[in-house]
Amino acid sequence: MIEVSRFWRDPALPFVEARRVGDGRKVCYAAHSHESFSIGVITGGRSTYLSGASQREVMAGTTVLMNPGVVHTCNPIAGQPWSYLMLFVDMPWLQARGFALPAQTFSTCAGLYSRLLQLFADLFDAELSDREARLLAFFTDLPGYLRTRVHEVRSEHPPLDAAAAFIRAHRSDPLSLADICAACGLSRSYLIRAFRQRFGLTPHGYLLDQRVQQARAQLRRGRAIAEVALEAGFCDQAHLQRAFKQHLAATPGHYRAGGIR
C-alpha cells in the first residue's frame, strides 16, 4: 500500500524536492504558496484544485502547475480517495537554464502525464547517473506539451504590491497590521479587503505563508525545529507546528525527515 505521505530529497539534487501522497483525504491544505516552481500529477481519484482566481475539478491523468507565489489549494471532494505526486524545483536552477514560467495551471495532455511519471521514476532511482540531465530535458520539452497562451496581464496596484513586498522583507519581524498600513499608505479596512482580492490571502495570512516558506527552506537543511521557528518569526515551536501542518499538511518533523532512506 502506498504511504499516506512521504517527502523525497537527495543531497545529489539539492535544488529539487518531491512529495508522494497515497491518500489525499488525510493530507488537506489551507490556501498557501511556494517559493519554488511546482508541478505534479493526479495519480488516482479526483480533487478540487484552486489556483489564483480559478477553481476546477481535477482527476487521475491531470497535470497541475503552480508558479511561485501563486496561492492555491488541492483538496479531496466529499471524502473521496485521491493520490498524487508533486515536484518542487528551485527557481535559481530553472532560471539559470532559461526556463520561462508557464501561464497554464493544469493540463490533461496524456503525453505530459506519462512523461512526468517517468521523470519521477528516474529521480527516485539513485542508481541513475544522469538524473539532472533528465530533469533538464523534461523542462526543456515542457513548453511543447502546453498549449500556447498569452500571459494574463494583472492590473498594477503599486500600494498593494508595496504591502506584499514589505511583508516579504520583514517576514521574520513582529509585524503588525499598522506597520504594513504605514508602509503602503492604505487604511486598515481597505488593505485587508483589497489585499485578499489581489493575493488570495489577508495580510496576516500572507505573512504566515511567508514564514512557513522560510521555515521550510531551513528545515530542508536539517536544522533544529525550535531554532527555525524563532528565526522565521514564530513565537515558539508549537506555533510553527500548527502553521506548518495547516499550510503543508505535514508536521515540521515529518518534513525535515524526508529524503532518501
d(CA 7, CA 22): 12
- The answer to whether residues 50 and 72 touch, using CB atoms and an 8 Å cutoff, is yes
Q: Residue 178: what pLDDT? A: 92
- Provide the 3-class DSSP secondary structure of residue 206: helix
113 and 41 Cβ atoms separated by less than 8 Å = yes
pLDDT tens by residue, 207-216: 999 999 999 9
Q: Give the pLDDT score at 143.
A: 94
* 138-176 pLDDT per residue, tens: 999 999 999 744 444 455 788 898 899 899 989 999 889
pLDDT at 227: 96
Arithmetic mean of pLDDT, 116-137: 93
DSSP 54: E
- Beta carbons within 8 Å of 48's beta carbon, 6+ residues apart: 55, 56, 57, 58, 73, 74, 75, 76, 77
C-alpha cell at 177: 497590521
Measure the CA–CA gap between 192 and 186, rounded to whole angstroms: 10
pLDDT for 133: 97
Residue 2 binned pLDDT confidence (cut-offs 50, 70, 90): low
Quick one: average pLDDT of 107-130?
Answer: 92
CA dihedral 194, 198, 201, 203 (to 10 degrees): -50
Percent of the chain's residues with pLDDT above 70: 94
Q: Which structural domains are found in the chain, ordered by start?
A: 5-145 (2.60.120.10), 158-256 (1.10.10.60)
Q: Which pLDDT does position 219 carry in this prediction?
A: 95
